[in-house]
Chains A and B, each alone.
Chain A
Amino acid sequence: MNRVAVIDYGMGNLHSVAKAVEHVGDNLQVSVTADEKTMLNADRIIFPGVGAMRDCMGEIKRLGIDDMLRRLVEDRPVFGICVGMQALMQHSEENGGVDCIGLFEGNVVRFPKDMVGEDGDHLKVPHMGWNEVKQTGTHPMWNNIEDNSRFYFVHSYFVTPTSHDDVVGESAYPETFTAALAKKNVFAVQFHPEKSQTVGLQLYKNFLEWDGCV
C-alpha cells in the first residue's frame, strides 16, 4: 500500500490533485488531509496550493503545517505544487510581503508590468496556459517526460531560488524563470501537473515511484 497525503489547508482544488494521483496509481490510499497522524503515516506528501499567499500562509501556520513539513521532508518524498512550491521559499512579495516556510533559500516575486513578447505584443499577467519546461537537471521525477514538454501554468508570481543548484526545470515568459525545484526529498513545480494532461499524469506516476533523496 502506497499512502499519499495531500495536505489540505482549505485553499481549494485539492480533489483534482487527489483524482490525478488516483488515476495513475494502483494499491493507493490517497488522503486529502491536515491531520497530523495521517500525514506522519503517509509514504509520500503532496503540498499543493491555490490562492493568495497571505491567506495560504495564515492557514499553514494556524494548522502547524509549516513545522509538520519541516519534519516530513526529513524522511519521505514531498511534492510541492504552484503556491505550495512558492510557500516553500523564504518570503513572497505577494499581499504586501509574506514570510513563508523557508525550505528553499530564495523569494517569490511578481512578473514585471509591461513585458513584451517576441511578436511585440504586450504579455499578460497571470502567465496562464501551456508553456514549455526545459529540464535543467536530471531527476527521477522527469522519467518518461520529454524535455521541453508543455505544462499548464497559472500564476502571477514565481520563485527566485538563491542557489541555481536547486533548479531542475525552467520556462520563459519572456525571461527565463524557475519552473521546477528539487533538493533532497523535495520536488516542487510552479505548474499544475493535475491540469497538464498526459505529461502531468506521468509526473504524478513518477512521484509514486520516487523514494526520495536523489
Chain B
Amino acid sequence: MTLAKRIIPCLDCENGRVVKGVQFVDIRDAGDPVEIAKRYCDQGADEITFLDITASHEGRQTTIDTVRDIAGQVFIPLTVGGGIRTLQDIRDMLNAGADKVAINTSAVYNPDFVREAADKFGSQCIVVAIDAKKVSGEGEPDKWEIFTHGGRNPTGLDAVEWAKKMVANGAGEILLTSMDRDGTKDGFDLALNRAISEAVSVPLIASGGVGNLQHLVEGITEGKADAVLAASIFHFGEYSIPEAKEYMAGKGIVVR
C-alpha cells in the first residue's frame, strides 16, 4: 500500500471561463470550467484546481457559483484559489463545495492570515500558493524570490524561507509555481521544486512549465514533488490524463 503521486489539471478561470495565460499575459479561451472539470474527473484526474487568476489583481472574488457547480458534479478534491482574503472567503468556498483553498497574495501581506485560517479550518484545507522567480545570476548560488499579482510584483521574500514560514504557520500543502517557466512548456524549475520540497514537511504541488509527459515524471523524480499540476497540455488535447498516468507508471511512479 503506497500513496499515489497525483496529477492535477488546473483550470485558470476568468469571468467563468477557463483560460490559460502564456507567462500570465497572452490569454486563450479553453472553455467551460464545469464541463472541463467533469471531463477530467471521468478521465481519472486525482484532483482539480480552480484558480481565478485575475481575482487578486482586480479585486474580484472567485465565482462561488462556478465552484458550487463543479463540486456538484465532480467527486474528487477541488482546490479553489484567487481572491481568498478573509476567513469568510474560506468558509464561503468550503460551503460551496471546495475542499481546499489556495492563499497567495493575502499570505504575503498578512502571514498571520494563514495561521488564523489553519487554526479555524484545519491545515488540511489550507494551501499556500507561491509564485517564485529566480533572482540569482550565473555562477551564484540558486535563489528565488516571491512575486505576487500574477508575477508582476516582487516582494523581496526568499522563496525557500517563505515556504518554511508558511508551513510553520499551518499551511497543509504548497502549490509552487515557477514564474520563469509558467507558459513556456520547458518543464518545471526542478531545482526550485526540490529546494522547497526538501525544506518543508507538507506535500508540494509542482506547477509552471509542463510541455510534455516527461516533464511530469521529472517533477516527481527530480523535483521531489508529491503532485504535478498542468493546464494547457491537457486543455488543448495534447495529452489525456490516462496517457499521462500510463507514461508515469511506465517510469516507475505509483499512480492511481
Question: Per DSSP, are chain A's interface residues mostly helix, strand or loop, or mixed?
Answer: mixed
* Given A15-B95, A50-B124, A131-B3, CB of A195 within 8 Å of CB of B226: no
A131–B201 CB distance below 8 A? no
Question: Chain A: residues with CB nearer than 8 A to chain B?
Answer: 11-13, 15-16, 19-20, 23, 50-52, 55, 83, 113, 117-118, 121-134, 148, 150, 152-156, 170-173, 176, 192, 194-197, 200-201
CA distance A154 to B172 in the complex (A): 10
A-B residue pairs in contact (CB < 8 Å), sample of 5: A50-B122, A51-B121, A125-B202, A128-B172, A176-B1
CA distance A80 to B223 in the complex (A): 37
**In residues 95-113 of chain B, which contact A (Cβ within 8 Å)?**
95-99
B94–A50 CB distance below 8 A? yes
CA distance A23 to B224 in the complex (A): 37
* Given A52-B120, A154-B124, A201-B75, CB of A15 within 8 Å of CB of B4: no
A48 to chain B, nearest CB (A): 12
* Given A51-B121, A122-B198, CB of A195 within 8 Å of CB of B4: no
A115 to chain B, nearest CB (A): 10
* Given A121-B224, A171-B1, CB of A52 within 8 Å of CB of B75: no
Q: Does B256 contact A (CB under 8 A)?
A: yes
A132–B1 CB distance below 8 A? yes
Q: Does B161 contact A (CB under 8 A)?
A: no
Q: How many residue pairs between the two chains, A and B, have CB atoms under 8 Å in the bound complex?
A: 125
Q: Does B125 contact A (CB under 8 A)?
A: yes
Residue from A16, A113, A124, A129 in contact with B46 in the complex, judged by beta carbons closer than 8 Å = A129
CB contacts (< 8 Å) of A127 on chain B: these are: 3
1/0 per residue, CB under 8 A from A, across B164-208: the answer is 000000001100000000000000000000000010111110000
B3–A129 CB distance below 8 A? yes
Residue from B95, B97, B201, B203 in contact with A129 in the complex, judged by beta carbons closer than 8 Å = B203
**In residues 50-84 of chain B, which contact A (Cβ within 8 Å)?**
68, 71-72, 75-77
CA distance A92 to B98 in the complex (A): 26
A152–B198 CB distance below 8 A? no
A126–B120 CB distance below 8 A? no
CA distance A127 to B173 in the complex (A): 10
CA distance A156 to B256 in the complex (A): 21
* Given A130-B6, A132-B1, A201-B75, CB of A12 within 8 Å of CB of B46: no
B125–A50 CB distance below 8 A? yes
CB contacts (< 8 Å) of B5 on chain A: these are: 129
For B, the interface residue count at a CB cutoff of 8 angstroms equals 41
CB contacts (< 8 Å) of A125 on chain B: these are: 201-202
A12–B125 CB distance below 8 A? yes
B256–A150 CB distance below 8 A? yes
Q: Does B88 contact A (CB under 8 A)?
A: no
**In residues 1-56 of chain B, which contact A (Cβ within 8 Å)?**
1-6, 41, 46
B1–A134 CB distance below 8 A? yes
A194–B75 CB distance below 8 A? yes
B115 to chain A, nearest CB (A): 12
Q: Does B163 contact A (CB under 8 A)?
A: no
CA distance A113 to B71 in the complex (A): 33
Q: Does B238 contact A (CB under 8 A)?
A: no
B226–A124 CB distance below 8 A? yes
Smallest CB gap from A123: residue in B: B3
- Top-5 shortest CB links A-B: A12-B94, A172-B1, A51-B122, A132-B1, A130-B256
Residue from B1, B72, B118, B173 in contact with A128 in the complex, judged by beta carbons closer than 8 Å = B173
B75–A196 CB distance below 8 A? yes
* Seed contacts A52-B118, A131-B4, A170-B1; 14 additional CB < 8 Å A-B pairs: A13-B94, A15-B68, A15-B97, A16-B97, A50-B94, A50-B124, A113-B201, A124-B200, A127-B3, A128-B173, A129-B46, A152-B46, A173-B3, A195-B76
CB contacts (< 8 Å) of A173 on chain B: these are: 3
A12–B95 CB distance below 8 A? yes
B71–A16 CB distance below 8 A? yes
Q: Does B91 contact A (CB under 8 A)?
A: yes
